[in-house]
Structure 1
């Protein structure tokens, strides 16, 4: 079953037109961004055809990198998850590495070796930062969950001083407040 059909079923079943409109709009925005990226890539690549040698390689790598930047960011916005954003950052790092490596192609000897090592170091740094940022966000989410659970336990403990309907109302209020 394709995604569009599944979305129509969900929209029909829930009768939530606002949700469906937002999902369709998000999908349309993503599709438009991908098409725009491909169009811009083809245009940039056609400009590269007039160039020869290493500058042409750099030009093509830059065109590809621009497409990857646009598509990766659009995909991350569409999926709207931490994993998608981290993956986009990794894809962008790979594309930027390819550009830097292409720029190294015009160099020779030690200069080329240093250039390639620097390009690799930049890629490793970008990927490492993406992974670290993901871990930081996950740790903050976990810490926030722990804080909420602790506050919920305090609220429920306060309810223990009450009895009957008052206690039931207090517990219900605590559950509502802390999303339990």
Structure 2
């Protein structure tokens, strides 16, 4: 009972993380709340990968709903025995959790690459990725941020939002990993119990 409760809590935690990922990713399209930059495609290329909306957002949300459904008593029993049904559900849960690690990992990687590349902004030389050759060194070089004149405060905007996306995807990966571990323990212990009971009989 403890494992089932733990697994259900882990799956439920994925829902708010997925929703926050969607919200944060959407904010990247509207620097300072303005829509003009998205309309004129004056945004960094990494935002068009939809890493927070599709992968850490919608896909993780769908996985969480399916996992919660699998863990509920309403799930259809496809096997004749209860032990077979639990093993089958655990196997599906492990596969879904592994997919969750892949989806959230994609978001983490793309967000990290976007953070290293820096924002697409207007400077004295025109619109460009003016920090792309710094290998992320601009993150601690606060005096260089003023080189981006438009959108206003775009460097801070991108750093904060991308850092949040990385944190959210990192939490999703941890939760999915714990989910895999819990399901493996449930499956292996359950199989061991069946073997022990069979041996005693």
When normalised by structure 2's length, the TM-score is: 0.30
- State TM-score, norm by structure 1: 0.33
| More helix by percentage | 1
Higher-Rg structure is 1
Q: Relative contact order, CA 8 A, sep 6+: which one is greater?
A: 2
